[in-house]
Amino acid sequence: MDRDEILKALSHPMRVEILNWLKDPKEHFSSQEHPLEMGVCASQFERCGLSQSTVSAHLATLSRAGLVTTRRVGQWVFYKRNEEAIAAFLKQLSQDL
Amino acid sequence: MDRDEILKALSHPMRVEILNWLKDPKEHFSSQEHPLEMGVCASQFERCGLSQSTVSAHLATLSRAGLVTTRRVGQWVFYKRNEEAIAAFLKQLSQDL
DNA sequence: ACTATAAATCGGATTTTATCGATATATGGA
DNA sequence: TCCATATATCGATAAAATCCGATTTATAGT
C-alpha cells in the first residue's frame, strides 16, 4: 500500500468522483447492459464528458494505486472499488496525518 | 473545508512530511531558539533540503488548504497544525471514499 | 536612516499532469 | 477470415506543479 501514490491518485476530483459513483452502481449505472455484480464497465464512466482515452487513463491511475480492481470479461473490463485497500488507506492516513 | 484542495495539498510527499514533523515539534525542532509553544518557525523546514522559496511555497499551500495555522511574531512566522481542520477532513474523507 | 534577518514573491527553467484524436490491441461474432 | 466493439496506448499540446536564485517586503535593532 503506497500512501503517497494513493494521495496522488486522489488529487484529481474526477477520480474521487469515479470512486464515489462506484459506491452505488445501482444508482449511477442502471443503464448498463451487463449485470452490475460484475462491476462497472469502463465505458460507463465516459458520462463525465471526458474522452475515452482520458477516462481510460484515470481508471488506470486508480487501478495502479490499488483503489479499484479490474476484471476482464470478453471485450469488456469491469471495475469495482477495492474496499479493503480503501479502508487500509483511510486507517493509515488517520495515523499519518 | 475544501476537500479537493486538501487532497491536492497532500499529493506532495514533502507537505505530508511537514505535517508529520509538526506532530511532535519537541522531537524534530528542538534546535529552535524560540519556544516551541509558539509554533515552528518557517525556516526550520529548510532542513528538508529544498530552498527557502520552495519551502515557503509548500507552507503556503498547506496554509491555503487550512491544514496549518500561522502566526506572525516579529520577523518570524510560526506554524502549527490545525488539528480541527485535519480531523474534519479525515472525517469527511472517510465518508466520501 | 541604515543594516540585518525572515519570509514572501517574482521570473524562468524543467518536469509532470491532463487532455485529445488517432491508432493499436484484444475479444467476439458472422 | 473479416468486421465490430471495447479498451489501451501513442503522439502532441496545453496547463499545472515543482524548483531555484534573485528580489521585494516586513520587522527589529543600532
Per-residue pLDDT of chain A (97 residues; tens, 9 = 90+): 999 999 999 999 999 999 999 999 999 999 999 999 999 999 999 999 999 999 999 999 999 999 999 999 999 999 999 999 999 999 999 999 9
Q: What is the mean pLDDT of residues B67-88?
A: 97
**B72: number of Cβ within 10 Å:** 8
DSSP state of B67: S
Tell me the chain B residues in contact with residue A10 when contact means C-beta distances shorter than 8 Å. 7, 11, 97
Spatial distance between the Cα atoms of B57 and A69, rounded to a whole number of angstroms: 36
Q: Which residue type, as a one-letter code, is found at position B63?
A: S
Which value, to the nearest 10 degrees, does the dihedral of the CA atoms of residues A27, A6, A86, A15 take?
0
pLDDT digits (tens, 9 = 90+) for B33-66: 999 999 999 999 999 999 999 999 999 999 999 9
Interface probe for B, chosen from A11, A14, A17 (most Cβ of B below 10 Å), is: A11
Nearest nt to B70, CA vs C1'? Answer: C7
Kindly state whether B1 is in contact with chain A, defined as any CB-CB distance less than 8 angstroms: no
> pLDDT averaged over chain B?
97
Q: What is the pLDDT of residue B29?
A: 95
| Shortest alpha-carbon distance between residue A61 and chain B (Å) | 14
DSSP state of A49: S
All domains of chain A, ordered by start, with CATH? 3-96 (1.10.10.10)
Q: Where are the beta strands (DSSP E) in A1-97?
A: 40-41, 68-73, 76-81
